[in-house]
Structure 1
Amino acid sequence: MTLPSSPPAPHRPAVEGAFAPRKIIHVDMDAFYASVEQRDDPALRGRPVAVGGSRQRGVVAAASYEARRFGVRSAMSSMAALRRCPELVFVRPRFEAYKAISQQIRSIFADHTALIEPLSLDEAYLDVTAAAGSATGIAAAIRARILADTGLTASAGVSYNKFLAKLASDHRKPDGLTVIAPGRGEAFVEGLDIARFHGVGPVTAARMKDLGIATGADLRARSSEELDALFGKAGRYYYWAARGVDHRPVRPDRVRRSSGSEHTFAEDLTTETELIAGLAPAVAAVWRHCEASGTLGRTVTLKVKYADFRQITRSRTGAEPVASRDALDAIGRDLVRGVMPLRAGVRLIGLALSGFSAEAATDRQLALAL
């Protein structure tokens, strides 16, 4: 999630909500893929379920709440998931079914507003500023209609900007509705554990806590200059997030032109084997976007940041879009081999796919590497 890199314009107040506040809803389906499988197969209800591949190189695309209690999460390797939950049931993904249900849910949104920004098959932002009725009432009506029409539950967050609405939808999952009213955003954020901020990963959260930044209030106490010095470009994001500020509009029919994922490691990676293993979650995350959006890309870019913070990228563009997760993984591995031998230990590795073409995947059945 990206907040404005500059402060609000001079004619706008520093506190979001004091000037013409928007009414934003973030709707997030609860464990969507796994919930669909449990709905359609009564034998799976109440059991720990993972949608994805059970083979050695398989990846969890989604986990039911029963599985999450064991620590099973999306993008986790299947073998790691099984170690945490030996009773885990793996189910092959049915993306055509998920897409059909997603379209059904999208039509429910459209009954309330045309300002819909889908983020994936299972979540979206809605701007209901101009809609009749309260945003809270609309969110409640949407959740009730989703349950009645699909048999699935959704969580929703209501607030005056996208950042807070997203935080709110996560607050009481599953099957929750949380409202952050105008004027209360900063107070809501100040009590949050820093690890719950979007854009603060485990390594950054640990570093912040070492610096005495454990909550939103601690983060807000640091100056913009100090955060810039500590965290670079991300410092500005942290500064405004701590104040609950986000002026981004809801963008209907947003076209995403690339998808990327990166991970910072607690200990530097030093071997080819470690780099390839470290790249696996990024491959899984990027391919999940391809599956959810029905798009395929032609250009694969590897990002490597060394322990001294120097950074390099390596790219490969094919004549045709990358057609499978196995192909994406193979290209990523080749790009890793291309940066060997390493000039120093690696603290961050990432992968991005760009040059998207929706037409290339319109009629395909997308599936995980099983």
Structure 2
Amino acid sequence: MERSILHVDMDAFFASVEQRDNYKLRGKPVIVGGTTERGVVSTCSYEARKFGVHSAMPLFIARQKCPQGIFVPVRYWRYKEVSDKVFAILREITPFVEPLSIDEAYLDISHLNTNPKDVAMQIKKSVYSELALTISIGVSYNKFLAKVASDWNKPNGIKVIDESMMPEILFPLSIKKVYGLGKTTVSKLNNIGIFTIKELYELDKEYFEEYLGKHSLEIYHRIRGIDDREVEVSSERKSFGRETTLKNNTKDIEEIKKHLLFFSQEINIMLKRSNNKVKTITIKLKSQSFENRTKSKTIGYYTDDVNTIYAIASELIDSMYLEEPLRLIGLSVSSIEEKKQLEQIKFNI
């Protein structure tokens, strides 16, 4: 059976949710990531991208590039709430959904006796009619090409790449588009004059191993339209967490604990909504000299209780000596178990 794979990607998801929830933000350059100068951009609207703002950019640079930008704090709980509705729509289409992030997924629709482009259009229509949000979708016969296709006509785009288009359709694209090539490898290839997929395609096969190492054969086949990776159906989440870059560096334990309390409350909401409990609590600290430190504690039972999470986080920070002021504080929880699984374990016992 010929495979039909979709890659779906919400358009400027966090910013789009903010614009949908607040009509005053529609059509405006919205930058999600905080209201201080110390953090980074989580995402931004397409209106802000016209000014050169992009994800992971320091907020102070984003403000310089787009002084008229509207800066809003991250509301992860809200994005998760909307994301759950998006994934519910996807799972109505097929059970074969592989979440990649809160706003991105692969779908295997090979079993459906329907034109794949029609399925993609149905998803786009449902997401817009039910959630007033747009989504870009790539359609192809493997994961790599579906991902390339979803980026083709953003925002609100749809693109089909079939075997008859290969490999020529990839030739003009940057090698940055090739799944499996990291920044270091891209830089290494750039240094020998390889910038496009066409130039990589023309590289002799024996040089692939020399320049690309153990994944060389995968890359060699991938740019020739061969990618046998399966859509992995899993909704398992490894951790929940929140962090923030402080407006001012601090060693004040009470101020740090205020942030940990706020994070505990947000994580509690995430756990309740996802029907999960956890055993491991971890705090993350970054000093003003950018040194990262983490410390964890695993308890003997699963919990979603906000007071328990906060108490352990407080205990952890009390046990750490702060040699210099902090610029970032984070809290995460892991060792996750779904409540329904816990209840089944208790019943079996």
TM-score by length of 1: 0.65
Q: 1:68 to 1:198 in 2, by over 3 A?
A: farther
Contact kept, 8 Å, 1:112 with 1:131, in 2: the verdict is no
- Structure 1 partner of 2:134: 153
Q: 1:258 to 1:107 in 2, by over 3 A?
A: closer
Contact kept, 8 Å, 2:239 with 2:336, in 1: the verdict is no
Q: 1:217 to 1:98 in 2, by over 3 A?
A: same
Find 2:162's aligned residue among 175, 181, 190. 181
Q: Which amino acid aligns with 2:84?
A: Q
Q: 1:236 to 1:146 in 2, by over 3 A?
A: same
CA distance in 2, matches of 1:77, 1:244: 37
Q: Does 1:318 align with 2:296?
A: yes
The residue matched to 2:154 in structure 1 has which SS?
coil
Instruction: Note the 1:11-26 alignment, pairs <5 A.
Output: 20-26=1-7
- Structure 2 partner of 1:126: 107
- Structure 1 partner of 2:23: 42
Instruction: Note the 1:199-210 alignment, pairs <5 A.
Output: 199-201=180-182, 204-210=185-191
CA distance in 2, matches of 1:242, 1:69: 30
Structure 1 spans left out of the alignment, 5+ residues: 1-19, 260-286, 302-313, 338-352, 361-370
Kindly report the root-mean-square deviation, in angstroms, between the aligned alpha carbons of the 2 structures. 3.6
Deviations 1:87-107 (A, max 9, x none): 121112222221222121112
CA distance in 1, matches of 2:296, 2:86: 35
CA distance in 2, matches of 1:225, 1:255: 39
Q: 1:135 to 1:47 in 2, by over 3 A?
A: same
Give 1:210 deviation, angstroms. 3.2
Contact kept, 8 Å, 1:189 with 1:244, in 2: the verdict is no
Q: Which amino acid aligns with 1:163?
A: F
Give 1:256 deviation, angstroms. 5.5
Give 1:200 deviation, angstroms. 3.8
- Structure 2 partner of 1:172: 153
Deviations 1:172-192 (A, max 9, x none): 100100001134342322332
Give 1:113 deviation, angstroms. 0.8
Structure with the higher helix share, 1 or 2: 2
The residue matched to 1:146 in structure 2 has which SS?
helix
Q: Which amino acid aligns with 2:87?
A: R
Find 1:115's aligned residue among 90, 93, 96. 96
CA distance in 2, matches of 1:292, 1:195: 34
Q: 1:54 to 1:354 in 2, by over 3 A?
A: closer
- Structure 1 partner of 2:210: 229
Q: Which amino acid aligns with 1:235?
A: S
Give 1:203 deviation, angstroms. 5.5
Q: Does 1:74 align with 2:55?
A: yes
Deviates more, 1:61-70 or 1:169-178: 61-70
Q: 1:210 to 1:51 in 2, by over 3 A?
A: same
Contact kept, 8 Å, 1:34 with 1:62, in 2: the verdict is yes
- Structure 2 partner of 1:357: 335
The residue matched to 1:233 in structure 2 has which SS?
helix
The residue matched to 1:227 in structure 2 has which SS?
helix
CA distance in 2, matches of 1:86, 1:122: 28
- Structure 2 partner of 1:55: 36
Deviates more, 1:154-163 or 1:66-75: 66-75
Q: Which amino acid aligns with 2:76?
A: F
The residue matched to 1:47 in structure 2 has which SS?
coil
CA distance in 2, matches of 1:172, 1:75: 22
How many residues were matched structurally? 277
Q: Which amino acid aligns with 2:236?
A: V
Deviates more, 1:162-171 or 1:89-98: 89-98
Instruction: Note the 1:91-110 alignment, pairs <5 A.
Output: 91-110=72-91
Contact kept, 8 Å, 2:37 with 2:59, in 1: the verdict is yes
CA distance in 1, matches of 2:234, 2:99: 7
Contact kept, 8 Å, 2:31 with 2:45, in 1: the verdict is yes
Find 1:240's aligned residue among 221, 228, 238. 221
Deviations 1:283-306 (A, max 9, x none): xxxx9xx999979876799xxxxx
Contact kept, 8 Å, 1:155 with 1:170, in 2: the verdict is yes
Give 1:241 deviation, angstroms. 2.5
Give 1:209 deviation, angstroms. 3.0
TM-score by length of 2: 0.69
- Structure 2 partner of 1:220: 201
- Structure 2 partner of 1:278: none
In our comparison, the structure showing a higher alpha carbon Rg is 2
Deviations 1:125-161 (A, max 9, x none): 1111111311110001110111111111100000001
Q: Which amino acid aligns with 1:318?
A: S
Q: Which amino acid aligns with 1:59?
A: V
